[in-house]
Homo-oligomer: A and B are copies of this chain.
Amino acid sequence: MSEVAGRLAVQKGAQSLESLAGGMGILISGVSGVKPADVVILGAGTAGSNACRVAVGMGAHVSVLDINPPRLAKLYDAMNGRVTTIMSNRANIEEELSHADLVISTVLVPGARTPRLITRGLIKRMREGSVFLDISIDQGGSSETSRPTSHHDPVYVVDGVVHYCVANMPGAVPRTSTYALTNVTLEYGLMLADKGLGEAVAESAPLRRGINTHDGRIFHEGVAQAFGLESFEW
């Protein structure tokens, strides 16, 4: 789903930049003689890399920030140098956000609550009519100003910045999402159907890592921590 969310994010961000959505009324691609949008992507994981590819493909000027240098180097290579990679730290985030037209946050700690990387103060320094799109909203959101919205009423404005924080973004393209999800999960479904829960989980480490709760107990450490409860080993 991260691939879908990352790619869809650019499409949704582009749309939020239109004046109908409250954005500053610019075309993400620009045209010859008129600058494209400045897109800043937080995180160079699967969602971030996929957002990067689509944003660059649309013609935007794209910067990606991450705390992991080899991951940035890998993305730089995969994009043939068509992206600016920047070490993620407070100073660089602040500088990039201050001139961004569209910020896509993909920051996420799997299974745990997303860290509140973006303060309200940072949002305030963004440009009037710029867009903040938070992919990690399903895990709590990465900005102090993020709160979940829906596909039917996707955006709201804080301090002049359009916020797009739709939970379950891939739901907008159910056909693509279903195929994408089935491609990677069918194997496990068949395993469960063939062998039953006990045997399947015993044999498959990925299945085991996927169990959040069972029979009233929490088996995922991140989930347990998020709720201040005890976690068990399968």
Task: Please report which residues of chain A, range 160-174, place their CB below 8 angstroms from some CB of chain B when the two chains form the complex.
Answer: 172-174
What are 6 pairs between A and B in contact, CB < 8 Å?
Answer: A4-B31, A25-B172, A25-B173, A25-B174, A34-B176, A57-B58
Which chain A residues have a beta carbon within 8 Å of chain B's beta carbons? 3-4, 7-8, 11, 14-15, 17-20, 24-36, 50, 53-54, 56-59, 61, 63, 69, 72-73, 75-78, 80-82, 84-87, 151-152, 172-177, 179-180, 183-184
CB-based contact A84/B19 at 8 Å: no
Copy tally for this chain in the complex stands at: 6
Residue of B nearest to A70 (CB): B32
Complex contacts, A172 vs chain B, CB 8 Å: 18-20, 25
- Please judge, given known A-B contacts A11-B11, A14-B11, whether A32 and B72 are in contact too, CB under 8 Å: yes
Instruction: State how many angstroms separate the Cβ of A133 from the closest Cβ of chain B.
Output: 15
Instruction: State how many angstroms separate the Cβ of A32 from the closest Cβ of chain B.
Output: 4
Instruction: State how many angstroms separate the Cβ of A70 from the closest Cβ of chain B.
Output: 8
The CA-CA distance from A152 to B17 in the complex, in Å, is: 15
Complex contacts, A58 vs chain B, CB 8 Å: 11, 54, 57-58
Residue of B nearest to A50 (CB): B31
Instruction: State how many angstroms separate the Cβ of A11 from the closest Cβ of chain B.
Output: 5
Instruction: State how many angstroms separate the Cβ of A96 from the closest Cβ of chain B.
Output: 10
The CA-CA distance from A26 to B70 in the complex, in Å, is: 21
Complex contacts, A57 vs chain B, CB 8 Å: 54, 56-59, 81
